[in-house]
Structure 1
Amino acid sequence: MDTRRLQFLLELSRLGSMRAVADVLGTTTSSVSQQIAVLARETGAPLLEPDGRRVRLTPAGRRLAEHAVTILAAVEAARVDLDPEAEPAGTVRVAGFGLAVRRSLLPVADRLTRRHPEVQLMVSEHEPGEALSRLMADDIDLALTYDYDLAPATTERSVAAAVLWTTPWGLGVRAEDTRHLHGNGTLAVFRAFREHDWIGNSRNSADEEVVRTLASMAGFAPRFTHRADSLELVADLIAAGGGVGLLPLDQTTRPDVTVLPLTGPDVRMRAYTCTRRGRAAWPPLALVLDLLRRG
């Protein structure tokens, strides 16, 4: 079984179209089709089936693509072992939330362009649940997700998750409304704004879980009137009098919005890298993970 043909199949499982595979591997769509047809004859199993005007992998094709990850990673590891100067090569598909993409992934993309041009990134913005669903469907190679220490997330046993960084969060309020604050600490801050409207996340429940937990400890139930997943939009809603909401303490926001520290209990976001177990040894993905961890 020719590993080059396995590479064609694996890229098709990653990218979804023969044209995209041809573009990434520097060949033609007809060559991609021919090589996968040969692979099907070698394995004795149909690997593709019609999907409208396109094709998709059959169950046998998806299983072989799973094996291809391990086989090609082993071949690449052997090549690197014999030639430590060899450059990783391939397309790494990443889905992650906006803050992690801006804070961690974009610097990595810049370093890859300058130092490792054979490794490319395909980036899409998704909230944690969406990113993990795409990871489990093998639509991506790496998910950047988050949770809060007060609202810990659970993941499938087949997912390997590692903390990338943590950052403190506070309560974003209009700068002029800080006069409502009397006393320090998280619960004092929450009590000061108990009568205000609250802003939640439109695509992830973790923020709302944190707010409801702390509000319950402060003796009230928050009234959520707006939901947004963009931090910039949350700040704009706060400035427009739309309520109060969680914002990171270490990020610059609008001058008319103040982010009040939440301490005792603290509120900390934890960002994670998530991969399918056994996949992190693939050299292009291993390189991206290493660069992310180095910061």
Structure 2
Amino acid sequence: METRRLELLAELSRLGSMRAVADVLGTTTSTVSQQIAALSRETGSVLVEPDGRRVRLTPAGRRLAEHAVTILAAVEAARLDLGPEAEPNGTIRIAGFATAIRGFLLPVIMDLAASHPRVHILIREHEPAEALALLTGDQADLALTYDYNLAPATVDPSLKATPLWTAKWGLGVPALTTASAAPTGTAQAVFAGFREHDWIVNSRNTADEHVIRTLASMAGFSPRITHQADSLDLVQDMIAAGLGVGLLPIDHATYPAVRILPLTSPGVELRSYSVARQGRLNWPPLALVTCLLTDRAGRMTPGDDGLPSTGA
């Protein structure tokens, strides 16, 4: 079986339509159809069947697509394994959120300049969904992403996520809020105390909104979400101006006009990851940078140097 045909089948399984596969891989729908048909003949199995104006994978097609992910990862690993002892060198394209770039990646880049000057990093600032899209589209080699314990992200089987650091989050409210209006205790109790307030969420990611809606539901109300902002500093400005309340990291340096209430039972925890395509972590430069990021995350506590201050 040709790996190119297996790649097309794997992408069809992921994207759901031949047109989408053609667009992503820069070919034509006709070519995708012909290659899938050839793969069917090679395997002696019907891999796709009509589904209205589109097609869908048969059980055999889905099974082969699962094998394809493993096979393609193995082929990629074999290719990268040709020079595993070589001195790391090359350009790594990294897409990630601002906190991880500023607090973790930039220090790693400065270390690399002295220890491995032949390794170069290209940075693109993106929220997780955007970074993962670049990664799966082969427009990035590494993605720095995050999710929350109450809004776990779905991991694509073609990707490998390496945990980095975690950070506890609380509810940011105006500092002048009276003690009676700022209950303590469980997250549900804290949220219930602000059921009549407006709520502020991220403008480029829905994970924190999912957390807010989950905890509000547990507290017996539907939050009135009115404002969106990507910068956590701007979220604080909005809270200080009395425009609403929103999630903020516990270790975040707060403005005098803002206080952060702890959330427990359940708590809210942001979890960060470095993500690469399966099989590519054997590439020496990428393995090196991933290792350095993991080491740095293990040696520091988010908030030690003012993190995070923009974008979650």
Q: TM-score, normalised by structure 2?
A: 0.69
Q: Any residues of structure 2 matched to 1:16-95 within 5 Å, and which?
A: 70=77, 73-77=80-84, 79-80=85-86, 87-95=87-95
Deviation at 1:69, TM superposition (A): 6.0
**3-state SS, counterpart of residue 252 of structure 2:** coil
Percent of pairs identical after alignment?
55
Alpha-carbon separation, structure 1, partners of 2:240 and 2:153: 30
| Gap change, CA 1:75 and 1:183, over 3 Å in 2 | closer
Alpha-carbon separation, structure 1, partners of 2:203 and 2:26: 33
Alpha-carbon separation, structure 2, partners of 1:134 and 1:251: 29
Alpha-carbon separation, structure 1, partners of 2:239 and 2:274: 30
Cα-to-partner distance string for 1:259-278 (whole Å, 9 max, x where unaligned)? 11111110001111110000
Q: Does 1:103 align with 2:110?
A: no
**3-state SS, counterpart of residue 207 of structure 1:** helix
Q: Any residues of structure 2 matched to 1:160-175 within 5 Å, and which?
A: 160-175=160-175
**3-state SS, counterpart of residue 264 of structure 2:** coil
Which residue of structure 1 aligns with residue 147 of structure 2?
A: 147
CA contact (8 A) 1:202 1:228 kept: yes
Alpha-carbon separation, structure 1, partners of 2:99 and 2:268: 17
RMSD across aligned positions (CA): 2.2
CA contact (8 A) 2:236 2:258 kept: yes
Deviation at 1:58, TM superposition (A): 7.1
Deviation at 1:155, TM superposition (A): 2.0
Alpha-carbon separation, structure 2, partners of 1:286 and 1:58: 31
CA contact (8 A) 2:163 2:294 kept: no
Alpha-carbon separation, structure 2, partners of 1:277 and 1:174: 45
- Indicate the larger mover: 87-96 or 135-144: 87-96
Alpha-carbon separation, structure 2, partners of 1:190 and 1:144: 30
Which residue of structure 2 aligns with residue 262 of structure 1?
A: 263
CA contact (8 A) 1:161 1:275 kept: yes
Cα-to-partner distance string for 1:212-237 (whole Å, 9 max, x where unaligned)? 00001111110111111211111111
- Which 4+ runs in 1 deviate beyond 4 A? 56-60, 66-72
Alpha-carbon separation, structure 1, partners of 2:176 and 2:113: 45
Alpha-carbon separation, structure 2, partners of 1:182 and 1:69: 54
Alpha-carbon separation, structure 1, partners of 2:290 and 2:157: 20
**3-state SS, counterpart of residue 114 of structure 2:** helix
Deviation at 1:114, TM superposition (A): 2.4
Paired residues in the alignment total 228
Deviation at 1:57, TM superposition (A): 7.7
CA contact (8 A) 1:69 1:282 kept: no
Cα-to-partner distance string for 1:41-82 (whole Å, 9 max, x where unaligned)? xxxxxxxxxxxxxxx98799xxxxx999656622321x43xx
Alpha-carbon separation, structure 1, partners of 2:141 and 2:114: 22
Alpha-carbon separation, structure 2, partners of 1:126 and 1:68: 29
Alpha-carbon separation, structure 2, partners of 1:203 and 1:289: 25
Unaligned runs of 5+ in 2: 1-24, 32-72, 297-312
Which residue of structure 2 aligns with residue 53 of structure 1?
A: none
**3-state SS, counterpart of residue 83 of structure 2:** helix
> Which AA in structure 1 matches 2:110?
D
Alpha-carbon separation, structure 1, partners of 2:253 and 2:80: 41
Q: Does 1:280 align with 2:281?
A: yes
